[in-house]
Every structure is written in C-alpha cells, then in structure tokens.
Chains A and B, each alone.
Chain A
C-alpha cells in the first residue's frame, strides 16, 4: 500500500510542574490517499497532541522526542522550519473544533482565504478571487460573492466552519486534519458538515485524519479507526471490523457506556477509576487498573500492539497467544453488544398528578437601543410553552442551540422572570411569588449545570459549597446537622466524606459534576432541572452521571426536566420528550411515540441527522436548508416553514395548533391538522 502519511513510533513529551507528561508515547499509523482515518479517545488521551505534533505546532513546553512522521516519504520532523511552513496549509491543512475562534474577527472571509493562496499558490488578483469563489461554492456557501467581503461575526456557526474548511482546502492539501470538526455544532449542522467533508474527499481524493470523541461520527465517516488511551494507540481496525467486534476491553466498555434506547432500564457500563496521569512511569498495561479482565501479567508487563486477526491490531495481553493463555479472551469477556433487555420503564409510567405544570410560558427580552433605552423589538426566547411533569418522571426538552430550552429552564426556576404564562408547582403559582415567599419554595426545585468547571466557585471548599443552599434555605439548623447531611449527600453521589475539606480544582470533571448534584440534593428538592449535565463530559464519565441520576430518581422519586441536544441520552433516560424549535414546542409525547414515530418534519430531520453506530448508507439524512432563524425576527406562520421540506402555502399564514395524535402524542403541524 502506498501510504501518504506514515507515523512511526512518535513520542511527544510535555514539561509541566508535575513532571514530564508523556502525552504521546510511541504511536504508529499509516494513512493512504483518499482514506479517512479516525482517532477516537476520551479527553486527555493525546489525540489533539498527535495532530499538533504532525504540524510541529506544539506548545512551548512540548517537544517531539522521538519517532518520525513521513509525508510522501519525507520526514517532517527533520525539515527546517522554513520548509515546514511550505508544508502547513499546502500539503497538510487543519480545521479546528471551535469555528468561532479560529477565524480572525477583523479580517474578511476573502482576506483569510487570500492569505493561504498568496503563501502557497501563484494566484493573484482576479484569478485569486475566482478561485476563492470556487472554494466557497465548493463548501456549499450560498451567495459566495457577498460572503467573501463579510466578517466572521456576520456568519453563523455552520457557515464559519464551512469557511474554515474553505481556507483549509485553498491550496489543495493532500491531508486534512480535522480536530473535532463538528463538536461545537448542532446535529443538523453537523450532518451538513460531515456530508460536505465526505463529498470533498470523494472529489479531491485527499486523506482525512479525523480526531473525535464521538463514536457516532466515526461510524459515519471513517474507513479506519484507531482508539487512543493514555498516549498510546490500543486498537486499530477497519471501520466494519471495529464496530462489529471491538476487541480491547476499553473499546468494548466505551460501546457499553453509550446511552441509547436498548439500554433503557438497565445501568450503563462504567469504567471504574480515571485515566492515569501521564506523568507516571507505566510498567504494565495502562488500562490494567480499570480493566475487569486484568490479571497479574497485565500489571507486570506492557502489552505490544499485535495483530489479533487480519488487519485488526490490539494492544492487550488477552489476544497475545504466546503463553497458552490466548483463550482467555473468550472466557473473560462477555459479548460486546450485551444488551440489558429488562425494562423497568414501564412500571413507572403511571402519570400521577402533575408536580410541575406550565401553561403558555413566555419569556421575551426587550431589545433596547439609543440613549433613552427605548424598546425597539422583542427577542421571543420562549414563546408559549405548555407541559406537565409528574413526580418521579423525566421530561426531556430537546432542541438545537438557540431554541430557548435553557431560557425555559431558568424561567421555570424563576431565575428569569417569565413575561407571561403560569408555572404551577404542586398547585402553587410561582410566577407571582416574590422575595421571601419565593425563597421558601426554592428548596423544591433545583438546577444542575452543563459545565462542572464553571458551576462550582473555585474559591470555596466543597463543604462551603454544599452548605450554602442549606444555610440560605435554613434547612438544617446546627452545623452538626448540616455536616451530617453533607456526609449523607456525598455518600449518595459516591464521594468520600473527606472531599468536604478540599477545593473544586482538586477533582476531575465527573467528580465535580457529582459535587454539583450533591449541592442540589442537599436541600431535598422534588424537581431538578438538568441543563445539559453530561455534554461536557467524556462518554465513560457521562455513563456514571446518567446512572447516578437514574438511581437518585428511583431512591427519591425526583422529577427531572432534562434539557439536552443529545438524542441518545434522551432515549436512555427520559419518559417523555418535548421537541423545541424557536421558542415553541413542536412535538411532544412519550419517548417511544416521539423517537420511534416522529411526526413533525423538524423532529424527523433532527433524528435523521443524529449519527448512529449503524452503518451509514441505509439511512437517509433529511437535509435542512439554512440555519435556525433569529428569535428576534421569527418567520411568519409556522416558524419552521422556510426550512421545512414539506412546507405548504398555508404554512406561511398561521402558526399551527397542537394536534393530538392519540396517546399523549401532540404535534404542531398543519400536515396533521386535517386528519
């Protein structure tokens, strides 16, 4: 095979105050022309460092200390810096995770593309402009002539990422490194970008090194997959092989930790412990401490990357047939796709009296302008929502970013005062409560946030963080009572009581999220609004938190309003689903009703865009035109009609009323109004 890129035993070390971090500890891989090679792994395993090492763009503290990177037979690590500049952008291009920060805000789109053209090609003036228009057209940007002279703030997230891709493609590189190219994007936009990358690859035959943590994206995109763990590649296989039968215990656990409908009722598999710090000198297998099937040899001897079957490499003693213990693999490992079939979803499906009942909730923000701050418009963040949640149940609020789901959550908690509508909690109206009366009710409804790093005050110890709510709500009177309660809560979320004396920065992301949950639990709430509580976490940690949330619901009969964009989590955890689009609920019902038989065209498009582990090809992605309109100026009639593939003339005239389709399934769409 004629490999375009060949990495041999690459080692990158970083110098840190805690010692030398072996961020990449001997990885080797080969990448052919026209091939997509995906590197999968959880945060901190060295994926991004690999990309930066290839381009020699390491941070100052980092250095490649060994190995070689051959691009078309030429060792990049030996090139002088001046020659390396000719490689970057010309032969290897890179796109980054955050499109908002990878474009320079003071340069127009055209200037940023021209920069690459000037450096790497002979195109100037009119010829360069023509090439730029071609590029923008190739990445599917409508009206390229106008966009060329626009600045990045005038573009939406999806367009920015397209521009980034256009910049990367400007000089026609052989290899494109895509570092989490769609992580910051919504699923419908993600589907567009992934399809664009696939199509560009087909047309130009370039190789793509795709770095991601999302197995769904890998399943859609990759030809070959490598799993990284703690600075090493632990498994390499073709996509079909990998998804059919992952071999390494870590890869298997990753699959089992993925939430989804087939795991409802059961707990998700968790990988105990944490990734070991890369400053340690490893003697045995790096995964041994967390592995269920580890034995003495795993702790004593580091496994090599060996072929378990044809072209399927794995770094695990289970598959090394040297000492007559090769059959262990079959004995100790359960089937990778073991499914928890039992279902306890059914038994809790009785809908009691509504704990929380919301009618026609509206949150409008005034747009003020001028010296006198006159109101010149309204951002209708939430524009008439109604739903109920019974205790012990979970309602998932699903939608793309900017649809108003977080605002709705805050309005329910009275952190933002609603503009209209009613929020009844146990029959008591909350929107009219003020001051003391509201404060007394606050113990009943609490909040868990997305980012466990921003949700804990870095200057307070865990004990103070947990005590804050109890003190403010005067729940436990004496310090001794409070301390006892804190210990109980920490035990409940699986933390040591000793954690009380420490500061948040001493904990990992998952542990911090547990502390945040304990903080909410400490005031014994009846309803918890979970605002994307797992989207900042790795898959294995997400599994731990989802298990915990589920268990707490069983133990305390908590109701959850689960705000998320992750459909798999919804399938696993929720009882009911409400799909939001531009401040309104377009469809709601039980999980089965909405996710199995989606009726609203938006729900259908949203669900089809979610990358799944099923092999691509048989699914048809419904491509939506354009992006979410601004809630300050929503389209007339049905908000979705400009993007709707099934829009009719009447859709422009009037917002459709909710239609009940049997059971609890309701949809707001004119397609169903007649029936």
Chain B
C-alpha cells in the first residue's frame, strides 16, 4: 500500500459533523414542519448564491481533511534485509488530498517574495552576470528570474503580457462548456426529468421565474468558473497570487487556510452546543436551584475576559505539547492538536450567549399548555425536555449556529494575529495576516498576502452571513417579512 491514512483529531470530528449533517438532512426531509422553513431558504436568491460559494469552500475543506502519509520510495535493499524492507517506510510529512491536487503549485518554491504573476523576483539580488562564452562575469545587482514563475518564457519582457492574456482567455473559453455541463448536471439532479426536458422550464429559468432561484444559482456558478478556471490555467506556470517570504505560493496558502477557518467555525459550535443546549434548557425548565447554579456559572464565565482565558489555555497547552513530544509523532498532529484545543476553548468561552437565549425560551415554553398536559400524564422531566422543549427551541439553535460561524472565522484571524491562535506552522488566514504585519512595513510593500487572505475571508464570511440571514428569516417566527407586494391589478 503506497499511502498510510492518517486520521487527525479534527478530521474525525469533521467526518462526524458531515455524518450529523447528513442525518439531519435525512430527518428534515421526512418531517414536513421542518422541511417548510428550509424550503423557504431554498427560494431565496441571495441564500442560494451564497450556498454555491459556501459549497465550493466546503469541498476545498473536505478535500483538505483527507490526510495520509505517502510511502517513501523503497531504498534498494540488500538481500539480507528482505524482511525489513517489507515494512514500507512512510514520509514524516502528513499530506492531504488537497495537497496532492495542488502539488503543481505547492511544490514550486521560490527563494523569497515574488509579486503575483511575476517572472522576476521582487527584490534585487547580487547575481553573477554570465558572458556569452559562459565565463563568470562580474557581480551585478539585478532582479533575478524566478525558478518556476514564468520559467517557460524565452524573453519575459516581450512575451509575458501575451502569454498571460492568452492563458486567461483560454481559461475563460474553457469555463463556458464547463459551466454548461455543471449547470445541466446540477439542475437535472434537483428537478424531475420531464421538467428539465421542457422548453418552458428553461425559459422560466432564463426569466428568473422558477420557484428555486436557478438563475441566481447559475449566474453565481458562472462567475465562479470565470475566475477559477483562468486562475487554474495560469497557476500551472505562474504564481498567480505571488509568493511569501519563504517562497511559498500564496494561492496555495489561501486554499489551505479554508480548512482551518471552516474547522474553527463549525467544530467550535459543535463543542459548545451540548453545553448551551443542555444547560440552557435545564436552567429554564427546572428552575430553582439548578437555574441559580447554571446562571451563576455562566455569569462568572462571561466575566472573565475571553482573550485572556484563551491565551492562558493556549500557552499552557503549548507547554504540554512540548513536554510530551512522544504523543505527537508528526508536526501536523501537533498543529492539529492545538487547533482542536483552540476550538474547545473558543467553544467554552462562547456558549453562554446561546445558553441565555435558550434559558429564556425554555422559561416561556414550560408554561405552555402542552408541557403542562405532558406533566399531567406523568411524563418524566427528561422526556419533556427532550420531546417538548428541545424541538421547539431548535430554530434558535440553528439560527445561532449559522450566525456564529462567521464570527468565529474572524475570531480565529484575530487570535492568530495576537499569537494565541493556531500553531505557527499551520496555514490559516490568521497566520497569513500575522505575516503581513512585517510585509506591510517594508519598502517596497508586499501587499498580496494580506490582500489574498482578505479576499478569501471576505468571500467566505459574506457568503456565510448571507446564508445565515436567510436561515434566520425562514426560521425565526418573529421575523416574518411583511406580505409580498400585491400582484393583482387594482381596479377602482
């Protein structure tokens, strides 16, 4: 076997999360009252466009969560060591499926900074000019050619512009058939076959009259492909977004950061949900001493400055990792362990808001008559909480989960910037921004790391926010958007 699968802690939790979501989807599909609000979300153009963007990010994140160690090429072993050589040696480095996919751009390190799409380095270096005969000449200060970026060009000065434009146009031309294909597959998968075949349906899509806003979805898809395909083509020969201090491709870093952001945004909620749901419902439903204890607990927790608590926990964890090197055979596992704990500590400091909301809702629900009817039947208190209270607060849980997501992604960036975030070896938006601290201060300024992190994060958080808004509108009974505009003709 050429690879050894590695399941990191966060990978396992991501798989668990995917399984939970799949189970939830299956459950929702079978319950009409749960399906109805999601159906309303599916009719919101902004939400569905956001969902397309989110799906792309999630796919990147999932690909990046399949980790393994590659087998090292077997060393030519003498006959005697036959037995030993049956044990394949594996590389120390843990790679992911995304790394393999991106290896054309990841494995082309430059020496140091280079600007987006550059063919020469960003700073002058002392190079030896070569004479025509190949004799070493004198030393000059010049911008050296990059090792990989635009290396195929004979005369960069002359050919660069034409080559870049040609690649970009070729990419756009390629994007069109790809878009048609993807659109067909996507629509066919979600609509009955006889409707897809009819002309009326496509006419309705074109005019934006379908119930599910297919026009918005397909336009978003087209825009994404128009950006992504040319970039993919260019990335084979250039560093599209430049390289960082150690010469690593910034596009690669940005794509790798997506997983970190998603893990922080989702696992943190996963960690905090049991706390807030259980304690919130218990406090609201049981009242009395339980309520007092839980309230004092979260009020106290809330009074500790969160950043201080996180810093303390992360620093203590760092010491633990360093004193127990045997527990973490690879650097990836070390970084992953720190990421996991960051999720947990972020979760612990952020569950109180939802807990408070749920307590208030449970206080209201416990006085409702169907709860009293259940009490009159002698239904046990746990069962009442599970069957009567929990399903009726789920909309609040859902709304707060999607609303919290973007906040947590941003929190990670801030924490990593402060230096108590993820492991410095782990690529994340926060570490990219942290690195930019020095880059922005030098002359000439290196702007592309920060800009890439900014654009990617903006796309992710904006999409998440738009989607969260639609989810809230669909689920929150208090946010009933006023009736639609009158459609009938008004005749006096």
Contacts and interface: CB of A to CB of B under 8 A. Distances in A.
Interface of A: 13-16, 20, 59-63, 65-66, 410, 413, 415, 438-440, 442, 445-447, 449-451, 454-460, 465, 468-469, 472-473, 503, 505, 516, 519-520, 523
B486 A61 contact: yes
Contacts of A13: 486, 488
Interface in B443-492: 482-488, 490-492
Contacts of A14: 483
B482 A415 contact: no
Interface stretch (B298-306, B312-320, B375-383): B375-383
A66 B492 contact: yes
How many chain B residues sit at the interface, stated as a range, is 20 to 34
Contacts of A451: 369
Contact of B369 (A61, A454, A458, A460): A454
A13 B488 CA distance: 9
B440 to A, nearest CB: 49
B369 A473 contact: no
B361 to A, nearest CB: 14
Among A20, A66, A449, the most chain B Cβ lie within 10 Å of the Cβ of A449
B312 to A, nearest CB: 30
B38 to A, nearest CB: 15
Interface stretch (B144-152, B232-240, B385-393): B385-393
Among B374, B377, B482, B490, the most chain A Cβ lie within 10 Å of the Cβ of B377
A77 to B, nearest CB: 8
Contacts of B484: 15, 61
Nearest to A516: B373
A61 B483 contact: yes
A124 B461 CA distance: 54
B32 interface: yes
Contacts of B490: 63, 65
A468 to B, nearest CB: 6
A438 B374 contact: no
Contacts of B383: 472
A285 to B, nearest CB: 24
B372 interface: yes
A304 B374 CA distance: 51
B378 A442 contact: yes
Nearest to B488: A20
A59 B368 CA distance: 29
Contacts of B491: 65-66
A459 B374 CA distance: 14
B387 A60 contact: no
A15 B372 contact: no
Contacts of A440: 378
Interface string B29-57: 00011000000000000000000000000
Given A449-B369, A454-B369, A505-B33, A15 B487 contact: yes
A59 B372 contact: no
A653 B387 CA distance: 52
Contacts of A457: 370, 387-388, 391-392
B488 A468 contact: no
Interface in B370-425: 370, 372-380, 383, 387-388, 391-392
Given A15-B487, A458-B33, A61 B376 contact: no
Contacts of A439: 378
Contact of A15 (B378, B388, B488): B488
A413 B374 CA distance: 12
Given A61-B484, A459-B391, A472-B378, 13 more contacts: A14-B483, A15-B486, A61-B482, A63-B490, A65-B488, A65-B491, A440-B378, A455-B369, A457-B370, A457-B391, A460-B391, A503-B32, A503-B33
Contact of A447 (B376, B380, B392): B376
Contacts of B373: 447, 449, 455, 516, 519-520
